[in-house]
Copies of this chain bind each other. A is one copy, B any other.
Amino acid sequence: MRIGVLGGGQLGRMLALAGLPMGLEFVFIDPAKDAPMESIGRHICANYDDETALDELASRADIVTYEFENILLSSVDYLSRKVPVVPSRKALEISQERLFEKSFLKKIGIPVGQFCPIDSLDDIENAARVTGLPAVLKTRRFGYDGKGQRVVATIDELTTAVREMISVPLILEKKIDFKREMSMMVVRNLSGETAYYPLVQNEHRRGILYTSAAPAPNIESLAGIAEEYAGKLLTALGYAGLLTIEFFETDEGLLVNEFAPRVHNSGHWTIEGAVTSQFENHLRAILDYPLGSTDLTGYSKMINLVGALPSFGEIAKFSDTHIHYYGKSPKPSRKVGHITVRGNDFNTVEKKADEIIRLIEVVY
């Protein structure tokens, strides 16, 4: 739906800000050339390594940040000569490559599952000995939403998989027998002020995040150690910005799976569920403002909309339930929006989320 508005002042602007997450589009009439609705964003349509585009970005921006980590370091280096880029190259470089990432985490004393690089067929036996089987064979770079991964149960399966994937550097990781998956958003500004959101509990389906519950239940014994790992990582990286750490809870305690130097799908609940959203706190951090409170406003459960969109009206009838459309056309396995259910009572939120999950279609 497209909404026309007579007047593009602050009220029109905030109408649009409230309506955009609802998937609406806006068109304004306003006699003023510099009306508040004007300032949302300019789109430079280009590849990330296009130097003309990078020049334009640098000339139009006071500071540059990023929303995903698979960006060429050469682009960041190019930009960095002209404009500050935050978070830093170091966090990006490490998080882009699973072997660097796991080795770095291990080096600074954060527990990770067993892993071993595979650069040729000769490495297979040793790698399987290090990780044990079953294990997960992964490309070291450019994986997301479970892409570039293969679970292998035997040496034969591993050998077949390596033969197929060996055109790029690989890593074998122990298949973790986890009790649950969790993540934590942490944020640190340029001056070093740090804040922690609570651990959230994540459920994936077909490698794609499906739900996040905040706070994760029964984390009394885990919260302290998770924050300790997060603090270590922020310090070791000299990090500024919001950073997301993914954990496995196992019988032996928390293991870190990976980290992302950016705002994260498992933190979308913070828009309504925390006093300050992950998005605002990322901006505060890179601009070196005091951080906003990471206190919760209640219990939240986020449900991803994957491959299909429910109608707004269908979801709007649930109270304290917040729908976000991304303006993308639905395709199988594509994240096209999310819903956050919030409330003051854990059971009410869970029950409402279950009802919604039964209602919505998911297409993989």
Taking the complex as formed, is A42 at the interface, i.e. its CB lies under 8 A from any CB of chain B?
Answer: yes
Q: Which residue of B4, B24, B28, B79 contacts A283 across the interface (Cβ within 8 Å)?
A: B24
The listed residue (B46, B62, B328) touching A2 by CB distance below 8 A is B62
B-side contacts of A297, CB under 8 Å: 297
CA distance A288 to B79 in the complex (A): 47
| A110 sits at the interface (CB 8 A) | no
Interface residues of A in 271-306 (CB under 8 A from B): 271, 275, 277, 279-280, 282-284, 287-293, 295, 297
For A63, list chain B residues within 8 Å (CB).
Answer: 1, 3-4
Determine if A31 and B4 form an interchain contact, defined as CB atoms under 8 angstroms apart: no
Q: How far is the CB of A114 from chain B (nearest CB, A)?
A: 32
- Pairwise interchain contact A283-B64, C-beta atoms closer than 8 A: no
Query: A67 contacts B313, CB within 8 Å?
Result: no
Residues of B within 8 A of A12 (CB): 67
**A83 contacts partner chain B, Cβ-Cβ < 8 Å:** yes
Does A57 interact with chain B (Cβ within 8 Å)? Answer: yes
Size of interface on A: residues with Cβ below 8 Å to B: 97
Segment with Cβ contacts to B, from A159-167, A201-209, A316-324 = A316-324
Question: Taking the complex as formed, is A231 at the interface, i.e. its CB lies under 8 A from any CB of chain B?
Answer: no
Residue in contact with A35 in the complex, picked from B6, B30, B43, CB distance below 8 Å: B43
How far apart sit A210 and B71, CA to CA, in the bound complex (Å)? 47
Residues in B neighbouring A313, C-beta threshold 8 A: 288-290
**Bound: A293/B344 CA distance, A:** 14
A103 on interface, CB distance cutoff 8 Å: no
Contacts of A9 in B (CB 8 A): 67-68, 326
| Chain B residue at minimum C-beta to C-beta distance from A33 | B45
**Which residues of chain B come closer than 8 Å to A11, judged between CB atoms?**
67-68, 262-263, 279
The answer to whether A29 and B46 touch across the interface, beta carbons within 8 angstroms, is: yes
Chain B neighbourhood of A48, CB < 8 A? 6-7, 29, 31
Closest chain-B Cβ to A117's Cβ sits at a distance in Å of: 28
A283 x B3 contact (CB < 8 A): yes
Q: Would you call B4 and A65 a contact (CB within 8 A)?
A: yes
| Known contacts A27-B41, A27-B60, A28-B43; is-contact A335 B10 (Cβ 8 Å) | yes
A19 in the interface, Cβ–Cβ < 8 Å? Answer: yes
Q: In the complex, which residues of chain B have a beta carbon less than 8 angstroms from the beta carbon of A39?
A: 20, 25, 327
Task: Tell yes or no: A21 within 8 A of B by CB.
Answer: yes
Contact indicator A47/B21 (Cβ below 8 Å): no
Most buried by B among A33, A282, A297: A297
Interface pair A326/B44, CB less than 8 Å apart: no
CA distance A64 to B24 in the complex (A): 12
Chain B positions within 8 Å of A50 at CB level: 29
Residue of B nearest to A22 (CB): B283
| CB<8 Å pairs between A and B, sample of 23 | A4-B64, A4-B65, A5-B66, A6-B48, A6-B67, A6-B68, A7-B48, A8-B41, A10-B324, A14-B271, A14-B277, A17-B20, A18-B283, A26-B40, A27-B41, A28-B41, A31-B45, A36-B326, A36-B328, A40-B40, A288-B313, A290-B316, A295-B319
